[in-house]
Amino acid sequence: TQLLEQSPQFLSIQEGENLTVYCNSSSVFSSLQWYRQEPGEGPVLLVTVVTGGEVKKLKRLTFQFGDARKDSSLHITAAQPGDTGLYLCAGDPYNTDKLIFGTGTRLQVFP
């Protein structure tokens, strides 16, 4: 069974702080997506990382795919209240069409 564990599970920080969310697995993935989900809504795609070691930046968000394609991280610089939400990683296993979702990290940024 392929599992994606995210840490931390919950994170409460003040506006302006930096944070990193981790997504780890013992399985190798073809690619990995990061989504953000608001309460009562569907996951919204933020980024896809494909190549081992790849780094992608989306404004204040930096995403990295591990060299072995088993893990990923999301780093947010100078967090803002608008970053509040549930962050999900989702792995794309080889030879299958489904996404395996992580356990999620709930981020709250206080003004």
R_g of the chain, CA atoms, integer Å: 13
Of positions 104, 105, 107, 109, contacts another protein by CB under 8 A: 104
Would you say 25 or 33 has its CB closer to another protein? Answer: 33
Query: In the complex with another protein, which residue's Cβ is closer, 69 or 79?
Result: 69
Check residue 61 for interaction with another protein (CB under 8 A): no
Q: Which residues of 1-22 are buried (b: 16+ CB within 10 A; e: fewer)?
A: eeebebeeeebebeeeeebebb
- Shortest reach from residue 71's CB to another protein, in Å: 17
In the complex, the smallest distance separating the C-beta of residue 103 from another protein, rounded to whole angstroms, is 6
Binding-site ranges for another protein (CB under 8 A): 30-31, 33, 35, 40-45, 48, 50, 88, 90, 92, 96-104
